[in-house]
Amino acid sequence: MSDRPRPDTAPGPAAAMRIVHLSDLHFTARPGRLTAAFDKRLLGRLNYLLRRRGTLHEEWFDLAVPRIAALTPDCLVCSGDVTCVGSPAEFARARARLETLMQAVPVPLLYVPGNHDAYVADRDCRAALADTFRFLNGRRCRLEQMPFALRLGNVSFLMLNECTPTGPFSSAGQISPAAAEALTGWLSAPRPPAERRVLIGHYPTRGPDAAPLPRRRRLGSAGLIIEALAQGRLDLSLCGHLHSPYRLDGPGPGMEVCAGALTAAGSLSVVDIAGDGRLSQRFLDLRPA
Ligand SMILES: [Fe+2]
Ligand SMILES: [Fe+2]
């Protein structure tokens, strides 16, 4: 497989940008090795078998591919949790499924890990995450380079990794001190009036009612993002983690969009950014009738 970056096919400066945002696909696969039975993956697998299996519909992803292509996006965003327990077998499955989307819609795909993708500290799982991250991002960056900034048209993106392996009963995330410093620098840089700043992370800063999430599920240091949205230094925060889609407008001009789980809620978010920077958002419901 070539290690060269995939060419970006974004529109030129001041052109309109359409972002199609999907999240929380939670592809699964049978455990590949016996050691998987002795770490957090055991709990994750049980959780999947007892609770999640009946709620996840992988086939909705297949149905979504032509719908996404018909939207003619300029950019795709996947805000994490492509797996259930972050095993090499699940990452292989996620890569294969997402490759069909990448071939059908040959535009930049920007993927950040979710807490289920960074589930355990197992060396093989971490290597599978790193390889998948590089593959899905068109080989334009490596996991250890995050936070990673890139510009497409009149949009400046910052991709944030908020996920590291946690204890058995925690799904909390964190912005590391180094990531917080990079985020602050990115938010403070001068910009032309029509440029829009879009942050891509896994965690919402608040729940659908704008209240903080429970401690064991929330993002530490989320106040940095909330403050930037309120002050208009950040225009849009794209995230997932919660499986029902919702949008938070205000306080202030910034917007946060949780895309929801495509394979559980059938949801997809579409953001249009006009050449003058005006921003509009809508959700699509892809569940079969
Ligand atoms: Fe999830
Ligand atoms: Fe998550």
- 112-140 pLDDT, tens digit each: 999 999 998 899 999 999 999 999 999 99
Alpha carbon of 81 to ligand 2 centroid (Å): 6
Alpha carbon of 62 to ligand 1 centroid (Å): 18
- Per DSSP (E only), the strands in the chain are 17-22, 75-78, 109-111, 148-152, 155-159, 173-174, 196-200, 219-220, 236-239, 246-249, 255-258, 267-273, 279-285
Peptide bond into 147 cis (omega under 30): yes
Q: Tell me the pLDDT band of 177, cut-offs 50, 70 and 90.
A: very high
Q: What is the DSSP letter of 192?
A: -
pLDDT in tens, 68-104: 999 999 999 999 999 999 999 999 999 999 999 999 9
Q: Which domains does the chain have, with CATH numbers?
A: 19-281 (3.60.21.10)
* pTM recorded for the entire structure: 0.91
pLDDT of residue 50: 67
pLDDT of residue 11: 47
Alpha carbon of 26 to ligand 2 centroid (Å): 9
Q: Strand, helix or coil at 124? A: helix
Instruction: Report whether pLDDT(174) > 70.
Output: yes
Instruction: Report whether pLDDT(45) > 80.
Output: no
Alpha carbon of 90 to ligand 1 centroid (Å): 14
Cα distance between residue 120 and residue 140, in whole Å: 25
Instruction: Please say whether the beta carbons of 149 and 191 come within 8 A.
Output: no
Ligand lying closest to the C-alpha of residue 48: 1
Return the minimum-mean-pLDDT range out of 15-19, 167-171, 188-192.
167-171
Q: Strand, helix or coil at 45? A: helix
Alpha carbon of 172 to ligand 2 centroid (Å): 9
Alpha carbon of 261 to ligand 2 centroid (Å): 10
Alpha carbon of 110 to ligand 2 centroid (Å): 17
Residues pairing with 93 in the sheet = none
Alpha carbon of 117 to ligand 1 centroid (Å): 9
Ligand lying closest to the C-alpha of residue 259: 1
pLDDT of residue 6: 45
Closest CA to 20 of 288, 213, 281, 289: 281
Alpha carbon of 189 to ligand 2 centroid (Å): 30
pLDDT of residue 36: 54
pLDDT of residue 170: 80
Alpha carbon of 183 to ligand 1 centroid (Å): 24
For the segment 203-222, the average pLDDT, to the nearest whole number, is 93
Alpha carbon of 60 to ligand 1 centroid (Å): 16
Instruction: Report whether pLDDT(1) > 60.
Output: no
Alpha carbon of 57 to ligand 1 centroid (Å): 13
Cα distance between residue 266 and residue 63, in whole Å: 10
Closest CA to 18 of 284, 283, 274: 274
State the CB neighbour count (10 A cutoff) for residue 23.
Answer: 32
Alpha carbon of 59 to ligand 1 centroid (Å): 17
Alpha carbon of 245 to ligand 2 centroid (Å): 13
Return the minimum-mean-pLDDT range out of 31-45, 89-103, 204-218.
31-45
